[in-house]
Amino acid sequence: MPLVDYSSDSDSSASGADGSDAGIPPKKQRRTGSGEGSASAFGPSPSPSPAPAHAAALPPLPPSFHDLYASTVRTATRDDPSLHQGRTRQNPHVPGNWPSHIYIEWHPPSAVHSLLVELVSSLQAQARTLSSAVQVTSLLLSDLAAPQPLHISLSRPIVLSSAQKDTFSAEVEAAIRASGIAAFTLACSTVEWHRTAESGRSFLVLRVHGTQEAREGDTEDNPNPELTELLRRCNAVVAKYGQPGLYRWAEGDDVSRVWKAFHVSIAWSFAEPTEELKMVTERVFGQTTAKGRIQEVRVPVEGIKVKIGNTAYDIAIKRS
């Protein structure tokens, strides 16, 4: 990554050849006065350099940079929900086991991030006024108010043994390469609450779907051909390792419904998604302006992440 040059505000005065202060005139008192004619004893102060017409923008961080900070630092040797806003692991930590996940990572542009933060903040304020005083926790910001990456899951949270972890990511990569899927773009549609029994939490999610209306082999019943194919291949690899697949309820007769399941989580709550909470959510996200702006959001998919323990592997998808 190229460095950005910055000009110095001042230069050091040259010293004598012998390093002494000989030849340096004694300090003089600054003249006193008022108005623009005032100047120091060494002459008028130089006027500041005009700002460049177009300030050089820093280049974006490469995706591999985010992989360096893919997980938080463990502050305890055992699972402690008090350190994680009361959350508990779906798969309790066992020494020698590696919690793993396959997903698509998304870093929303600043304008989209600001929009989502504004809407979630409004929902948080209104949810607290409900009869049940619902606490909604944002997934958009870290504890230090830094933007958080979001994701679309292609697997459940699974667990690998030390003997399995080295081959798992390679098999996932081979499966994705064999799909022939090129980079694609997703659009956001509705905002809904989704309850998961495994985590005991309700998630506020953005549903996502494909943007192209016609591709070879597509049907009108599946607006998410890329995601459903990636999920099928990832589930096949996960099954080889004795782990449950994602969206297994959509197997068999319900396979046509799986395209509706893909989403980006933006907030969560321990509370059940009651009708009261749904009405408040619709009031915030269903207003015409907010709804229209959300439907304009696009999610580029150029790679798949495989996270094993605290290490994330990036599998790039070929460009079309």
What would the two tokens of residue 32 be? 């006193």
Instruction: Tell me what percent of the residues of the chain surpass a pLDDT of 90.
Output: 59
The answer to whether residue 13 scores a pLDDT higher than 50 is no
Neighbours of 60 (CB within 10 A): 9
| 71-118 residue pLDDT tens | 554 555 555 555 545 555 556 667 789 999 999 999 999 999 999 999
User: What is the per-residue pLDDT across 134-154, written as a single tens digit (0 to 9) for each?
Assistant: 999 999 999 999 999 999 999
The per-residue pLDDT for 20 is 41
The closest of 41, 43, 49 to 10, measured between CA atoms, is 49
Residue 35 has pLDDT above 50, yes or no: no
* Contact call for residues 104 and 154 (beta carbons, < 8 A): yes
Beta bridge partners of 304: 315
Q: Which of 14-23, 115-124, 236-245 has the lowest mean pLDDT?
A: 14-23
What's the CA gap between 320 and 309, in Å, rounded?
Answer: 32
Region at 59 (left for phi over 0; alpha for psi -120 to 50; beta for the rest)? beta
Cα within 13 Å of Cα(154), Cβ side = 28
Q: Catalytic site residues? A: 151, 263
User: CA 207, CA 264: separation in Å to the nearest integer?
Assistant: 7
Tens digits of residue pLDDT in 194-204? 999 888 999 99
pLDDT tens, position by position, 287-311: 999 999 999 999 999 999 999 999 9
Q: What is the pLDDT of residue 199?
A: 85
Rounded CA gap, 200 and 191, in Å?
Answer: 20
319, pLDDT greater than 60: yes
Strand-by-strand arrangement of the 263-269 sheet? 137-138, 263-269, 201-210, 184-196, 298-301
Walk me through the domains of the chain, giving residue ranges and CATH numbers: 96-316 (3.90.1140.10)
Q: Judge contact between 204 and 277, C-beta under 8 A.
A: no
Q: pLDDT averaged over the chain?
A: 80
Burial of 206 (0-12, 13-18, 19+ CB in 10 A): buried
Confidence of residue 222 (pLDDT cuts 50, 70, 90): confident
Nearest Cα residue to 249 out of 231, 268, 276, 237 = 231
Q: What pLDDT is attached to residue 234?
A: 97
Q: Tell me the range of 18-27, 31-40, 92-101, 217-226 where mean pLDDT is highest.
A: 92-101
What percent of the chain lies above the pLDDT cut of 70? 66
